[in-house]
Each structure stands twice: as structure tokens, then as C-alpha cells.
Chain A
Amino acid sequence: MKIDRRDFLKLAGFGSVVFASGLVHFGKLASAAEDDFFFVQLSDTHWGFTGPKVNPDSTGTLKKAVAAVNNLKIQPAFIMFTGDLTHVTDDDKERRKRLTEFRAIISELKVKDVRFMPGEHDAGLDEGEAFKEVFGKTHYTFDYKGVHFIILDNVSDPRSIIGEEQLEWLNADLKQVKKNSPLVVFTHRPLFGLYPDWDWFTRDGDKALELLNPYSQVTIFYGHIHQENHHKTGNIIHHAAKGLMFPLPAPGSVPVKNPIPWDADHPYKGLGFRSVDAKVGGTQYAISEFSVKGERL
């Protein structure tokens, strides 16, 4: 079920006033509990991409986004990159070079709790070997203020699958979690079939969703499609993020999926990052979208 922003606000339990006011982390809402926190999601930075008609500032966009995050009045608890850190190359050495350059650029972030996962551009050609050398594991978990975060890798296998081994790992992890515990899952590709004609799905994503669905508070943040998208399957809400190199068209809106050309009248249009406010216990999330330069959208 596709949900638009207004529906999403209802689902998330937020009124548009709160959503639009920026009170949550910019003004420190008076009633905000100490356990509230927010994180920043950046996605699809595609470092190494070149294409002046799509993004004439391909070497500057990521740096601008890093500066914009650093300029947030209150810094996030942590920052999550949801894959495609680099643009695909068939050259193994070049892949490592791009991953290393990317790491150097984002080392300028003030927040040092930065977490990563690969996209197929980073890991699809070598099963994640170079990514692991630079950033470590491709799937893992961590906990923060009562929220259990799960990072799933649905790209290192070029067949766009999670795989039985990782699904067993997920199943074992979930057995340690109460059914009403807040869960946040990060993936690169959508776990549901958003638009299979454009390869916007995970071939065995339904198996992961089946494992997650018994839990009452599951929210998934992902990338891959280079645009904002909100969707619900069963108990689970899925939020896709904008990219930071080029936007892609809406699912099925054109015959062939190609990057949307640069709009000289509106530079960086369609690009950006988001902050996600987690309320007490992680039961609700307020998403705020930002432009590359840090303007709140």
C-alpha cells in the first residue's frame, strides 16, 4: 500500500504542525523526553559518478551535504549511510580508491558515530569484498536508547537476494527481541516489490518481511530509488530516501529508468538527506527532509 506524506503523518501519529514546525530537534520541544533522539540518513552518494548533464557538481555534492549536516544546530545521535556510497566500476582497484576517497570525505562529519552499509554499486561485483576491507561487516545490529537497529545486506549477492544464511541470522536475532520492541531496519533495496520492472525489489525480501511482520513496531529505511517514497506492508512502514548524486523518476512513470537531468534553474533539485526523530521508546518517527545545502524542505 503506497502512502503519501499526509497518510504517513497519520500513520506516524504526527500532525502536520509538528512535522512542519521543526520543533522536535531544532527548538527542543519543551515536553521532549530525554530519551528522544534523532539520526540522519544519507543515501546513494555514488562517489565517482561523472555526468555533467545529470550532475555538474558530482565532486562537490557530497561535500556540501557533509557541511549541511555539520551545520545542523543540534547534531544527530548517529549518521547512517544506506548504500551506493560509490558509483559502480568494473575495476577492483578503482572501487577501493573510490571507497577510500568517500571515507576521507565523510571523515569531516562532526558526528563520529557513522554507520555504513553497501549498495549494489559498492558490493555487487565482488560480493562485498572491497567494502568489507574499508568499512567492515555488511550486515549487523546495534541498539540505541531502546531501539533495536538491524542492517540487512540485500546487495552483496548480485542476484539481489538476502540469502538463506543471513535470513537465519535475522531469525535468530529477532528471537532475542520482544514482539512489541521498536525495530528499525536499514536496507539498500526495498524489501517489497516496489517496481520489479526496474529491479526495485529484493528477490527474497518477502522472507525477511515474513520474519519481521509479527513485530508490532517495525520501520524500514532504505535507499536505491533516489527519491522519497512511503509504503506500508502489513505492520511495517517503509521509507525510501533521496539520493545525493542524481534523482530517478517515479516508479513506472517513464518507459526506461534513467537519471533525471540537472535542472539549471533549480540546482540539486531532487537531492538531499533526512533526519529521523525517534520518540520515546522509538514508537514513532518524524521525518524531516533537507536539501543538499541544508534547507529544510
Chain B
Amino acid sequence: MRFRLLVYSVIAAFVMISIADYVIAAEEEQVIQITAKRFEYTPKEISVKKGVPVVLQFTSQDRLHGFNCPGLNIRTDIPAGKVTTLRFNPDKAGTFPFHCDNFCGTGHEGMRGTITVTE
């Protein structure tokens, strides 16, 4: 009986530690949801803190789009019908333009935005 109690206690401790780690990790990430549709991103102006990991979660509402931010060296395809996650660690301050790099139609050239990394 005492042994079983000990095992349960150890398991409970592991679960608590794991949950705590998850909560801390979640608090330390900047999670931003971005919607892409012809021919805009919402939001199109994004602000993040330098040194704090960023998680971008993209959803396309119509067709294949792209997200390319050469200044931060990050890009991804954004296919319709699923959430696309992109993680990066902003290690320099500044404003960095991004654009759709998958040709998507008449307004493709204007599908743009910026990521501002603050100190």
C-alpha cells in the first residue's frame, strides 16, 4: 500500500512538473495568429519583442499563399485548409517587410506587411 502511494506520488509530481514547464514555455512564447487571403494579411503589422521566441500561426482562407520575410530569414507556404506554424527567435531589432511569395492573383504585389522587433 505504501509502495503504491509512493508510485502515485512520483507520477503526480512528474505531471505537475510537465504542466508547469508547458505553462512557462507558453508564457515565454509570443503566439500570433495571422489570416491570409487574397490579397492581404490580417494583421499586416506585427510587433514582437527581441529575444522572446515567436510562434506565427497562419491560416489561408482561400488558396495557397506564401510568407517570406527575408530580413529575418523566415518563410513558409500557407496552404488552405490547415494551420501552418512558423517558429523563430527574433535576435535583432528593426522593422522587416514580409510579402506573399506564392503568386496569388491580381493583387499579389500588394500582399505585404511588416514585423517590427522591439528591444
- In angstroms, Cα B102 to Cα A65, docked, is 31
Q: Are B70 and A196 in contact (CB under 8 A)?
A: yes
Q: Tally A residues with Cβ within 8 Å of B.
A: 18
- A263 within 8 Å of B (CB atoms): no
Q: Are A90 and B103 in contact (CB under 8 A)?
A: no
Q: Tally B residues with Cβ within 8 Å of A.
A: 17
Q: Are B109 and A160 in contact (CB under 8 A)?
A: no
Across-interface contacts of A214 in B (CB, < 8 A): none
- In angstroms, Cα B106 to Cα A158, docked, is 13
Q: Are B68 and A159 in contact (CB under 8 A)?
A: no
Q: Chain B's nearest CB lies how many Å from the CB of A117?
A: 16
Q: Mark A182-208, 1 if CB is under 8 A from B, else 0.
A: 000000000000001101000100000
Of the candidates B66, B99, B102, the one having the most CB atoms from chain A within 10 angstroms of its own CB is B102
Q: Mark A137-162, 1 if CB is under 8 A from B, else 0.
A: 00000000000000000010011100
Q: With contacts A88-B108, A90-B105, A158-B102 known, is A197 near B77, CB below 8 A?
A: no
Secondary structure call for the A interface = loop
Across-interface contacts of B52 in A (CB, < 8 A): none
Instruction: Select one of B64, B97, B102, B106 contacting A197, CB under 8 A.
Output: B97
Q: With contacts A159-B66, A257-B109 known, is A197 near B103, CB below 8 A?
A: no
Chain A residue with the shortest CB-CB distance to B103: A124
Q: Are B68 and A120 in contact (CB under 8 A)?
A: no
A residues 257-278 touching B (CB-CB < 8 Å): 257-258
Across-interface contacts of B102 in A (CB, < 8 A): 158-160
Q: Chain B's nearest CB lies how many Å from the CB of A216?
A: 32
Instruction: Select one of B66, B97, B101, B106 contacting A90, CB under 8 A.
Output: B106
- In angstroms, Cα B109 to Cα A258, docked, is 9
Q: Are B101 and A197 in contact (CB under 8 A)?
A: no
Q: Are B77 and A159 in contact (CB under 8 A)?
A: yes
Q: Chain A's nearest CB lies how many Å from the CB of B38?
A: 8
A88-B108, A257-B109 given. 11 additional CB < 8 A pairs? A125-B103, A155-B103, A158-B64, A159-B102, A196-B68, A196-B70, A197-B70, A197-B71, A197-B97, A199-B99, A256-B112
> Chain A interface (Cβ within 8 Å of chain B)?
88-90, 120, 124-125, 155, 158-160, 196-197, 199, 203, 255-258
